Amino acid sequence: MKEENFKSKFANAAKWSTSTQIVARLVAPVTNMILARIISPEAFGVVATVSMVTSFSDMFTDAGFQKYLIQHEFKDEDEKFRYANVAFWTNFCISVFLWLIILIFKEKIAVLVGNPGLGNVIVIACIQLILTSFSSIQMSLYIRDFDFKTLFLVRTVSVCVPFVVTIPLALFGLSYWSIIIGDLVKQLSNAVILTVKSKWKPSFYYRVKTLKEMLSFSVWLLIDAIVNWFNNWVDIFIIGSVLNEYFLGIYKTSTTMVNALLDIITTSIAPVLYTTLSRLQKNDDELNKMYLYAQRLISVLVFPIGIGVFLYSDLATKIFLGNKWGDSSGVIGVYALTSSILIVFGYFCSEVYRAKGSPKLSILAQTLHMVVLVPACIISSRYGFWPLVYTRAWIRMELVFVHLIIMRFFVKMSVASVLKNVMPSAVSAISMGIFGYLLKQINNSIKWSIMSILICSIFYFGILCLFPNMRKDIVNFVNRFMPVKYKNKVKTMVKERCVKNNM
């Protein structure tokens, strides 16, 4: 396909994927706001350590087959479904095996993650591993076909679970159990709905030869996932081991809140981008253009969000978590700022490596980061909570540097082209940050803070419209989300406004 056709497919798929994440992520902060006022930080600390175990185990249940089914070029539909059957039964068997291992060694695992006596909690929470195996393959097939509209419907049902299950259980005093049971119900609903709606249904087909072929690619994805998991959870492990559950709850809840906000963009774009790049894997020029196009659009939203949350972290903490979470403000601010930089320059590089059939490059990047990350976290933890927080946040810039080097030498994408690509949004966001800082000096009230955020948003997009290329991309992309009868009207209005700004 031509580049414009892929841009069109990317935009249409991103529309539904983004809509899915917006629905999910709008519900998540509201749920956290309510739960943070019902459940103590210590309880959130317990959930954090349980999540560490479930997320680690979940990597093995997938074994990289999702990425393989999306990336691989199949001869026909029948061959694709045969591979899907092999992936499903392998996932299912691995998930059952891992759950039995967790059941046997539950108390030792609980001690290892810093929460002795929570063995039964971990065992029950890990039932979701088996449930996930019933939905992961169907989900990958939908993503491969750019069918994010169906996934939107499925996700809309699952986001209602916290209001029906989690919050009522928390009000009845079930503490961390309310979150764990809510997660199980959510996974069950996903598994049932996806299985019922999917064109592919599990059948009793299995070939070891097919498994070997899939593992030749998937095993590297599994290693990549393990290294990536370690890098993402090493800070949680250290805080849980060195400090107490209070600081663990503060840190995990704060980073989760930031991720919930930024994940609206990252988790909506990542699967669409990976699918698109996989179809372009044999055309380097179009693949690079598609990546730069996606990066440019992502930077338009991520940069101002990162800087904005950094400036107004106190307000975000009060609104989303409440007064007893005052220590979260510092974590939220620095984590949002550094996350925005990492997302724009590094987060999606791994999708390029995998789409080109080279997951080893992602492993290389994560390993080089781990070599620096682990000593930095261990040393900084000796000086207390806040040195660890700031070290962990800023050490991620080393990963950005590694990705830029790998993209330069292995993907043939120059650092200059990447930096130039996002320069308009970076300049606009930095200008907005300076302007926002000056506005904050006028008044510290909540009303003025909210008003100044709106002023900053207008200021940011006003500066951005001064760059013709960005203006064109934004108008074209936004049009994908608009009803047909409004598209021409909005396009005309934006162009007229931008022309006035250039005068």
65 contacts 140 by C-beta, under 8 angstroms: yes
In whole angstroms, give the CA distance from residue 325 to residue 317: 7
In whole angstroms, give the CA distance from residue 347 to residue 353: 11
Tokens of 431: 């200008």
What is the model's pLDDT at position 486?
A: 45
Tokens of 310: 């950094």
Residue 12 buriedness (CB in 10 A; 0-12 / 13-18 / 19+): middle
What is the model's pLDDT at position 438?
A: 93
In whole angstroms, give the CA distance from residue 187 to residue 130: 9
Q: Is the dihedral of CA 316, 320, 325, 328 positive or negative?
A: negative
In whole angstroms, give the CA distance from residue 452 to residue 207: 61
Residue 285 buriedness (CB in 10 A; 0-12 / 13-18 / 19+): exposed
pLDDT digits (tens, 9 = 90+) for 342-375: 999 988 888 888 888 788 898 899 999 999 999 9
Spans in the chain with pLDDT lower than 50: 1-2, 484, 486-487, 490, 494, 498, 501, 503
In whole angstroms, give the CA distance from residue 221 to residue 277: 16
In whole angstroms, give the CA distance from residue 303 to residue 287: 24
349 contacts 377 by C-beta, under 8 angstroms: no
What is the model's pLDDT at position 265?
A: 77
Render the burial of 394-410: b for 16+ CB within 10 Å, e for the rest. Answer: ebbebbbbbbbebbeee
Instruction: Give residue for tokens 């009793």.
Output: 204
Question: Nearest-CA neighbor of 321 among 386, 252, 234, 243?
Answer: 252
DSSP-derived letter for residue 162 is I
Whole-structure pTM value: 0.68
What is the model's pLDDT at position 319?
A: 76
What is the model's pLDDT at position 371?
A: 92
What is the model's pLDDT at position 469?
A: 73
Within 13 A of 281's CA, how many CA atoms are on the CB side? 16
Q: What is the dihedral of CA 295, 296, 299, 304, to 10 degrees?
A: -170
What is the model's pLDDT at position 303?
A: 94
The domain ranges of the chain are 3-421
368 contacts 402 by C-beta, under 8 angstroms: yes
* DSSP states of 52-82: HHHHHHHHHHHTTHHHHHHHS--SSHHHHHH
What is the model's pLDDT at position 500?
A: 53
What is the model's pLDDT at position 429?
A: 94
462 contacts 431 by C-beta, under 8 angstroms: no
What is the model's pLDDT at position 494?
A: 47
